[in-house]
């Protein structure tokens, strides 16, 4: 989170939620990587009249990545190699033995019987001079496409739905708090009267992650009505949010020395009294706030502005001023 502008009249912030974008991009790139790893491997061997074999190893990738063709003139046989991971999981693959060294044929698999069957088929061709041809094919493109497509789709949905760039603007000139959230699906904008914003709070959450305690933060605005407005969509380990919360609190705590100067002179008397009463309540001048809010309610009643009358009356009850 960063502060874009900080003056006595305006405070602008931006929260790009970089960690969310990194997760979304990681899912998309991971999906493309998995899809690119899919290959169709074909191993063909033929014998001529002199009983000498000629073999070819062809690989064709899903996205054209890793496609190749290799000639093997001195095939000696095949073996099954394996590897045990740190978690005890063993995987197997077939390796071709040639005069030029060993050459891996298949991808890793947890099915040892399948790999041994392939190796036995190759060895049977090598030791039987009457065998005229051999063809082995392994195609995992469909599985890689399915798994990679799921990751790609999940990443795309995550970026489209979750990832947002949030802009927050507090402007004394317009008297508004404006929160805009930009994403690939469009921009959502919410505006609130600045004089109704009571405070900006830094919410913290302490969690245990991989055996260690970590603290995450989120900024929330509290209106005089008691309504909570989260500025950040999610908690995050962004210490700049603490700095931003302090800047917001300082901005909201700075009030004009003379309250009447904060009220636009062109407003009608009812609206002027309403805003003046709200500023007085914020400065804990309860008696004066209650008097002005009640006068504003009565003036709105004379103007037949039922909605404003109900709004102020409800506010008086919520603030225990009546």
pLDDT at 33 over 50: yes
Residues comprising the chain, all counted: 322
User: What percent of the chain has pLDDT above 70?
Assistant: 93
pLDDT at 59 over 70: yes
By mean pLDDT, which of 12-21, 164-173, 247-256 is the weakest? 247-256
User: What percent of the chain has pLDDT above 90?
Assistant: 23
pLDDT at 65 over 80: no
Give the mean model confidence (pLDDT) for residues 236-252.
85
Sign of torsion over alpha carbons 175, 181, 186, 192:
negative
pLDDT at 115 over 60: yes
Give the mean model confidence (pLDDT) for residues 1-21.
89
Predicted local distance difference test score (pLDDT) of residue 276: 80
pLDDT band for position 259 (cuts 50, 70, 90) = very low
Which residues have a Cβ under 8 Å from the Cβ of 243 and sit 6 or more positions away?
Answer: 1, 3
pLDDT digits (tens, 9 = 90+) for 143-177: 888 999 999 999 999 888 888 899 999 998 898 99
pLDDT at 107 over 50: yes
Contacts 24+ apart (CB under 8 A), 102-108: 103/57, 103/70, 103/72, 105/41, 105/43, 105/57, 105/78, 105/136, 105/138, 106/41, 106/138, 107/39, 107/41, 107/138, 107/140, 108/83
By mean pLDDT, which of 91-105, 191-205, 215-229, 308-322 is the weakest? 308-322
pLDDT at 77 over 80: yes
Nearest to 300 by CA among 308, 292, 290: 308
Predicted local distance difference test score (pLDDT) of residue 262: 42
* DSSP character string of 177-213: EEEEEEETTEEEEEEEEGGGEEEEEEEEEEEEETTEE
Q: What is the rounded distance in angstroms from the CA atom of residue 56 to the CA atom of residue 211?
A: 52
Nearest to 176 by CA among 189, 190, 188, 194: 194
Contacts 24+ apart (CB under 8 A), 281-286: 281/224, 281/319, 281/321, 282/195, 282/198, 282/224, 282/255, 283/255, 283/259, 286/321
Predicted local distance difference test score (pLDDT) of residue 292: 86
pLDDT digits (tens, 9 = 90+) for 187-231: 899 999 988 888 888 888 877 777 787 888 889 998 888 789 999
pLDDT at 258 over 80: no
Angle at 205 between CA 204 and CA 211, to 5 degrees: 140
pLDDT at 103 over 90: no
């Amino acid at each position: 989170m960063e502060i874009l502008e900080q003056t006595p009249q305006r405070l602008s912030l931006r929260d790009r939620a970089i960690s969310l974008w990194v997760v979304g991009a990681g899912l998309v790139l991971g999906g493309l990587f998995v899809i690119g790893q899919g290959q169709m491997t074909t191993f063909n061997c033929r014998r001529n009249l002199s009983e000498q074999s000629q073999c070819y190893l062809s690989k064709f990738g899903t996205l054209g990545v890793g496609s190749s063709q290799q000639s093997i003139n001195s095939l000696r046989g095949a073996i099954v190699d394996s590897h045990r991971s740190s978690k005890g999981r063993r995987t197997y693959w077939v390796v071709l033995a040639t005069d030029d060294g060993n050459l891996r044929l298949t991808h890793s698999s947890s099915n040892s019987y399948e790999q041994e069957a392939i190796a036995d088929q190759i060895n049977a061709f090598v030791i039987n001079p009457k065998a005229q041809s051999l063809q082995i094919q392994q195609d995992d493109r469909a599985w890689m496409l399915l798994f990679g497509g799921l990751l790609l789709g999940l990443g795309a949905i995550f970026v489209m739905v979750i990832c947002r760039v949030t802009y927050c603007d507090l402007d004394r000139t317009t008297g508004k708090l404006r929160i805009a959230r930009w994403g690939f699906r469009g921009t959502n904008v919410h505006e609130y009267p600045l004089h109704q914003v009571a405070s900006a709070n830094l919410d913290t959450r302490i969690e245990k992650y991989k055996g260690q305690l970590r603290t995450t933060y989120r900024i929330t605005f509290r209106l005089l009505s008691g309504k909570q407005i989260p500025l950040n969509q999610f908690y995050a380990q962004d210490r700049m949010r603490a700095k931003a919360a302090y800047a917001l609190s300082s901005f909201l705590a700075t009030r004009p020395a003379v309250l009447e100067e904060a009220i636009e002179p062109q407003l009608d008397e009812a609206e002027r009294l309403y805003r003046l009463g709200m500023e007085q309540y914020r400065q804990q001048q309860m008696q004066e706030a209650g008097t002005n809010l009640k006068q504003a309610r009565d003036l709105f009643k004379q103007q037949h502005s039922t909605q404003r009358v109900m709004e102020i009356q409800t506010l008086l009850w919520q603030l225990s001023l009546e």
